[in-house]
Chains A and B, each alone.
Chain A
Amino acid sequence: MSVTEMFSYIQGFLSADQDVREDIRKVVQTLEQTAREILTVLQSVHQPSGFKEIPGKCAKARELFCTVRTQLADLKTKFPVEQYYRFHEHWRFVLQRLAFLAAFVVYLESEALVTREEVAQILGIEVVREKGFHLDVEDYLAGVLIMASELSRLAVNSVTAGDYTRPLRISNFINDLDSGFRLLNLKNDPLRKRYDGLKYDVKKIEEVVYDLSIRGLAKEAESAVEK
């Protein structure tokens, strides 16, 4: 094989590769659009009026997740299954956002940490790599960390809206999450960087709880906690 032939073979490979990336990028754009819509729906829980409508907002978000599922199904068709990690960086960001949104919805509904299986189910994807398009564990964890900072915001706003018990529940939840993350041996990677931000969320929520308790505003909540 001559040098020229070899290079044109490689060139053919590279442009095929670029086409695939182009296709993926298009689908990912629509996914990002839907993710933003869901975020907008959920953002309104920070408004005082939004607190009473949390179940309604969640239902609406769940509806939008249907669109996400079809879009992800579309994404799956754009590249060979076994090359997931080759193109991973194209959808890593949006998948983390979606994991966050799913976790947030589940938290608002049941105040529990979403499992990786649930997220995968909400997004209509797999958990284990062997079965196809899956949710990487690091992306799931990143999504959970985004939720933690969202919850610290929610704690502040729930006080403003007059809901004094919620911060205490959030505090317990975040502490739980924090001890969970301490179990992990993270490398010096993006996930680690994001995890380093968790302590500020914890601190923020603790401050809110402190403010409430010195003013006796959390009385009824405290009695619930102390049983």
Chain B
Amino acid sequence: MSKREGEGPRRNADAVQGRDVSANPSSPVIAAFKVFQQELDTKHDKYERLVKISRDVTIESKRTIFLLHRVTSVPDPEEILNDAEVKLDGVRQKIGNIAEELRGEDIHQFHRAFTPGIQEYVEAVSFLHYIRQRSLISLEEINARLVFMRPEKGSAEAPPTGAQVLTFQVTPSDYLLGVADLTGELMRMCISSVGNGDIDTPFQLSQFLRQIHDGFSYIGNTGPYEVSKKLHTLRQSLGKVEDACYALRVRGSEIPKHMLADVFSSRGALIDPEEGVV
């Protein structure tokens, strides 16, 4: 301690005029903080990289969803579905990069960085799955496709189990939030399929949405708090779809099929003039 006291006045001067480098490098405090600086910088850099990947995942997933919305209005849906599959493969590659970054890390430490991207991915992949199978994709099915084979570069500190195989686990809450977003897409799909004179899809959709709604009500507030926010939006979507089905049932028998679209779209405009953004 006496040594440090002896250096006191000079240190004061340093602290005043000098930013980083001028600080006395021999002091144990400075040496310790150099280590902390490195550690924090490494962590922040990793976080930023993850945020970037997550953004890319979000954008690509959104594009896939837009692509999938075209399914209702084209003669050959299979082509679109295959395109979407290709796009999602690209997204999965990116998620592979996330898994790479997280190798040997605690995934929860960086979870905030990539959760938006993952939710969007869940939304896209479950949307595609619904269009194909008319059912809800399960968490296992999603996770099963997030296994990546990586060519190992010098596997120096790689974990003993699976130097080549990387997995990414979507957490149940991310899955839940992604599914909640899916309902919004289903609602849009329902409205647009009515516009195309498709009578069956809205009824299937309303049934499916009701099941999901029941599921969310069952979970209630045990889930993360975002769930309750999404539950509100989900109710609105469900309301719209149910109204659409109601309109079809009541008016469908009276009106010639080719005019149904007009009837419905004017009604839709009446229900919610400003809610196209949801």
Evaluate whether A6 and B1 lie within 8 angstroms (CB atoms) in the complex, with A14-B219, A175-B11 already known: no
Does chain B have a CB within 8 A of A184? yes
- Separation in Å of the A99 CB from the closest CB of chain B? 13
User: In the complex, which residues 98-144 of chain A have their Cβ closer than 8 Å to any Cβ of chain B?
Assistant: 110-113, 115-116, 129, 137-138, 141
Complex Cα spacing A173 to B3, Å: 12
User: In the complex, which residues 1-24 of chain B have their Cβ closer than 8 Å to any Cβ of chain A?
Assistant: 1, 4-6, 8-9, 11-12, 14-15, 18-20, 23-24
Q: Which residues of B contact A14 (CB under 8 A)?
A: 172-173, 219, 222-223
Q: Is the CB of B218 within 8 A of A11?
A: yes
Q: Is the CB of B218 within 8 A of A179?
A: no
Q: What residue in chain A is nearest B216 (Cβ atoms)?
A: A7
Q: Is the CB of A183 within 8 A of B30?
A: yes
Evaluate whether A185 and B41 lie within 8 angstroms (CB atoms) in the complex, with A14-B223, A172-B11, A176-B11 already known: yes
Q: Is the CB of B40 within 8 A of A7?
A: no
Q: Which residues of A contact B12 (CB under 8 A)?
A: 172, 175
Complex Cα spacing A216 to B109, Å: 53
Evaluate whether A172 and B4 lie within 8 angstroms (CB atoms) in the complex, with A3-B212, A10-B219, A182-B20 already known: yes
Does chain B have a CB within 8 A of A224? yes
Complex Cα spacing A14 to B227, Å: 12
- Separation in Å of the A25 CB from the closest CB of chain B? 16
Interface residues on A, range: 35 or more
Q: Is the CB of A83 within 8 A of B14?
A: no
Q: Is the CB of A7 within 8 A of B215?
A: yes
Q: Is the CB of A180 within 8 A of B208?
A: no
Q: Is the CB of B15 within 8 A of A141?
A: no
Q: Is the CB of A185 within 8 A of B37?
A: yes
**Total interface residues in chain B, CB < 8 Å:** 50
Q: Which residues of B contact A176 (CB under 8 A)?
A: 4, 11, 27, 29-30
Q: Is the CB of A178 within 8 A of B15?
A: yes
Q: Is the CB of A225 within 8 A of B5?
A: yes
Q: Contact partner of A186 among B40, B176, B208, CB < 8 A?
A: B40
Q: What residue in chain B is nearest A86 (Cβ atoms)?
A: B108
Does chain A have a CB within 8 A of B168? no
Q: Is the CB of A6 within 8 A of B11?
A: no
Complex Cα spacing A3 to B173, Å: 16
Q: Which residues of A contact B1 (CB under 8 A)?
A: 110-112, 169
Q: Is the CB of B215 within 8 A of A6?
A: yes
- Separation in Å of the B61 CB from the closest CB of chain A? 20
Evaluate whether A183 and B33 lie within 8 angstroms (CB atoms) in the complex, with A111-B1, A138-B40, A172-B4 already known: yes
Complex Cα spacing A178 to B109, Å: 28
Q: Is the CB of A18 within 8 A of B222?
A: yes
Q: Which residues of A contact B138 (CB under 8 A)?
A: 1, 6, 9
Q: Is the CB of A179 within 8 A of B14?
A: yes
Interface string of A188-227 (1 = CB under 8 A from B): 0000000000000000000000000000000000001111
Complex Cα spacing A25 to B80, Å: 50
Q: Which residues of B contact A10 (CB under 8 A)?
A: 139, 172, 175-176, 219, 223
Other 12 A-B pairs with CB < 8 A, given A3-B211, A180-B23: A3-B215, A4-B211, A82-B106, A171-B8, A176-B27, A178-B15, A179-B11, A180-B32, A182-B23, A183-B30, A225-B9, A226-B9
Enumerate chain B interface residues (CB-CB to A < 8 A): 1, 4-6, 8-9, 11-12, 14-15, 18-20, 23-24, 27-30, 32-34, 36-37, 39-41, 44, 106, 108-109, 111, 135-136, 138-139, 172-173, 175-176, 208, 211-212, 214-216, 218-219, 222-223
Listed A/B pairs (18) with beta-carbon separation below 8 Å: A6-B139, A8-B218, A10-B175, A10-B219, A14-B222, A18-B222, A83-B106, A84-B109, A85-B108, A129-B106, A138-B40, A172-B4, A172-B12, A175-B11, A177-B29, A182-B15, A183-B33, A185-B44
Enumerate chain A interface residues (CB-CB to B < 8 A): 1-4, 6-11, 13-15, 18, 82-86, 88, 110-113, 115-116, 129, 137-138, 141, 168-169, 171-173, 175-187, 224-227
A-B pairs, top 3 by smallest CB distance, nearest first, are A7-B215, A180-B33, A85-B108
